[in-house]
Structure 1
Amino acid sequence: MLRRLCITLSVAILCQLHTSLIAEARQPDKFPANPLEVTTPDPLLPTQQLTLPEMQRLQRDLDELHQEGRAKLQAGDQEGAFAIWNREARLRRYFGDLAELEALSRFGAIAWSRNDGEQVRYITQRLQTIEKQAQKQETVDLELMRSLAQAYQQVRSPRMALQVYQQILNVVQEKQDAAGILQTLKTMGELHLSWFDYPQAAATYEKLLNLTATQSDRTSELTYLQQLAYIYQQDKQLKSAVDVLTRLVEIYQQENQLSQIPQLKLTIGSNYELLAQENPSLLREAFNHYQQAYTIAMRSRQYTRAAEALQKSIPLYRAQGQIEAALQTSQILIETQEKAVNYYGMMQAYDQMGQLYLERREYPQALTAFQRGLELAQQLQHEETYFTQQIEKASQ
């Protein structure tokens, strides 16, 4: 009886195993084979070594394949187009890694733009295979590695691209190739920045800036400082931004390019104003830079910039209870806006002045300011109702 039970259980287990194997065999692969890794012989590629005329003919055939893929894509057959381009990329391999990488890079950009995640994965896997093969070589093929990094960029794999660029950087540094180092760092900096990796971008542009110190390249120095200022502003590293912007101001002063300075001074002032939220003693620095921005802007007839500097100063005076200073600055602002032919700005300045007079309960002066604001509002056909209401308020 026990023996019969064992036999029955064994048969049941075998049957269940057989059924599960059949079911598994019938299921499609979770990850289908990469079409770029297919090794099935292609009719366009004979088994023997091709002669030069045959290679030229194959090149023409591949160009025709590429155009056929483009035609299918334009006709709306994306699957058919990608199948053709997978085949084209496999055949380009016959002409070397560079030819294949060029095809993969072109194809990868299209696959990514078409949001085809599966095809992007196929291409990325093939790029990784090429990279592993390249790393086995005794010497680094810089042209190949640069092409590989660019292909990674096309399929939006910045981490992999940067890893390749780092390998390139190591090689050019060993060779003391100054031009190669510069170009590689610039590419890496742009790539970090395009993916909003501000800390890495800042570190890279700091390296570039250090290189210019030994080359006396003022143009590049300005470019890298401008990039660093933008990066630090975006990353909310205000103290670092102030330091970089101050260096820019010093250079423009040395070069007597005063027209570049007011906007920089305005940005520095705004940064100090934000930093003063934690350290109130820095508010004086904000005032100073706004005043300097105004003075230099007026000297270079940048009346819009000058008005902006005044506009930024008034709330600071008001917040510290210096209403008289705020009123005087408002009057200067009106005159500056008039020089800038900014009637909307004049209207706002009169409103600001009226509010300051209301704060001091000097109603006749407030009334006069609002009436002048209304005259401008009527000319502009804007905010007329608002100024009428303010006049009524001051009259009461």
Structure 2
Amino acid sequence: MLRRLIVIVTAATLFSSSLTLAESKKPKPPDKFPPSPLEITTLDPLLPRLPKDKQPLTLEEQQKLEPALDALNQEAAVKLQAGDQVAAFEIWNRELRLRRFLGSSLEVQALSRVGAIAWKQNNSQEVQYITQRLQAIQKQTQSQKKTAQIDLALWRSLGEAYQNVRSPQLALEAYDQVLLVVRQQKNTTALVEILKTIGELNLSWFDYRKAAPIYEELLGLTTSVGGVNEVTYLQQLAEIYEQTNQPQQSLNVLNKLAEIYVNENNLTEIPELKLAIASDYESLAKKDPNLLLEAFKNYQQAYTTAWQLQEYVRAGEALQKLIALYRSQGQTDEALQASQILVQIQAQAANFYGLMQAYDQIGQLYLERKEFPQAVTAFQKGLELAHQLKYQEAYFTGQIEKVSKANL
């Protein structure tokens, strides 16, 4: 009993001592963010000296360093190809640390290159390091622009680098600096190019609101650069206005496109264009019912043009829209006539599923008119196609039974 008591007391004493020791030597919390490998300042063997007082390397020293850095890039690429991503980025980080001694322009180009690789390899930490370094260069460049002319090439490179690491907002900030200067220079060609870059970047990130004024300005500039890209800008604006639900602005653009296509005798674009125009009129008609006539007219034009071009799928699409509009306005007779035409088009296109749906639509329209025998006939034709397709057989059988009972 005494031995057991001694063991218990000894264990308690040891436990108490370990707690005291643990309290006296609390571990330091780990760094939340490890230091960037791009900010290591130790002297690298490839450097002839560590530049002091911000004095850059001499031209001769830079010329000796550059091929060595190109070799590091090749070595890293070989490592990555062999599957050793960790070693590859260690080498690339060393290259990037040394690239800064060749000037901001060459450093940014290297950061852009490695950043694109890091993103492709899903190396988020490396992307973060590169983005931070790009921001540091940007901050330094901004502080210098008050005393020196803005380096447009550097700002463009910064924009491209930010795009490669998928930082669109930072890219746009860089491109805005370029835009500001080319506006001051009144260089129309350069203005168009940077606006296109900004517009495409906004569209690639689905920021249609910001893209709209860019493409509107580009469209306005087409007269001064020959109008070569007018159709492209109009098409982009049509997409933007559709995505942002601006039917009136969309109509203005689509009508300009239609005029251009007609003048160029490019009828193949007309059916799809007329469908979009009709849809816009239909949206606007919710506030102004008089515009429904324009919607009807454009759906009809879409159908007739598609039929002439033997684009039966597009013609069928236009007729479906037209039928839906007729039905929404209670114009059952017109909807029925259009549905009969739709049957011919779907048969011409060998679209058996569409043909089956057309017969179903005709059956429903006859039901609305309480013309039960004609409805049964339409549903029976639909059932024949359903048997062939092995689809919706029970539905058509049920419709026939329901109509037959109602006709008793």
Which of 99, 102, 105 does residue 95 from structure 1 map onto?
Answer: 102
Q: What is the distance in 2 between the residues matched to 1:122 and 1:232?
A: 38
Which of 196, 214, 225 does residue 186 from structure 1 map onto?
Answer: 196
Q: Say whether 1:320 aligns with 2:329.
A: yes
Superposed displacement of residue 139, structure 1: 1.4
| CA shift in 2, pair 1:45/1:256, >3 Å | same
Question: Which has the higher mean CA deviation after the structures are superposed, 259-268 or 73-82?
Answer: 73-82
Which of 365, 373, 377 does residue 364 from structure 1 map onto?
Answer: 373
Aligned residues: 373
2:39 alignment partner in structure 1: 37
Q: What is the distance in 2 between the residues matched to 1:293 and 1:227?
A: 21
Aligned partner of residue 223 in structure 1, secondary structure: helix
Q: Say whether 1:104 aligns with 2:106.
A: no
Q: Which amino acid aligns with 1:82?
A: F
Q: Which amino acid aligns with 1:172?
A: V
Which of 251, 269, 272 does residue 263 from structure 1 map onto?
Answer: 272
Q: Which runs of 5+ in 1 are unaligned?
A: 1-21
Q: Which amino acid aligns with 1:44?
A: L
Cα deviation code 1:239-279 (max 9, x no counterpart): 22122111111111121212211111111222332333344
Q: Is the 8 A contact 2:189 2:225 kept in 1?
A: no
Q: Which amino acid aligns with 2:46?
A: L
2:7 alignment partner in structure 1: none
Q: Say whether 1:221 aligns with 2:223.
A: no
Cα deviation code 1:352-387 (max 9, x no counterpart): 101111222211111111222223333333333322
1:17 alignment partner in structure 2: none
Superposed displacement of residue 150, structure 1: 0.6
Q: What is the distance in 1 between the residues matched to 2:102 and 2:338?
A: 73
Which of 135, 152, 171 does residue 142 from structure 1 map onto?
Answer: 152
1:381 alignment partner in structure 2: 390
2:8 alignment partner in structure 1: none
1:286 alignment partner in structure 2: 295
1:5 alignment partner in structure 2: none
Which of 82, 92, 109 does residue 85 from structure 1 map onto?
Answer: 92
Q: What is the distance in 2 between the residues matched to 1:371 and 1:191?
A: 54
Q: What is the distance in 1 between the residues matched to 2:337 and 2:219?
A: 43
Q: Which amino acid aligns with 2:48?
A: P
Superposed displacement of residue 312, structure 1: 0.9
2:404 alignment partner in structure 1: 395
Q: What is the distance in 1 between the residues matched to 2:307 and 2:280?
A: 22
Superposed displacement of residue 349, structure 1: 0.9
Superposed displacement of residue 229, structure 1: 0.6
Q: Matched residues, percent identical?
A: 58
Q: Structure 1 length normalisation: TM-score?
A: 0.86
Cα deviation code 1:313-341 (max 9, x no counterpart): 11222222221111111111112222223
- Counterparts of residues 1-396 of structure 1 (less than 5 Å): 26-47=28-49, 58-74=65-81, 77-135=84-142, 136-137=144-145, 138-217=148-227, 219-396=228-405
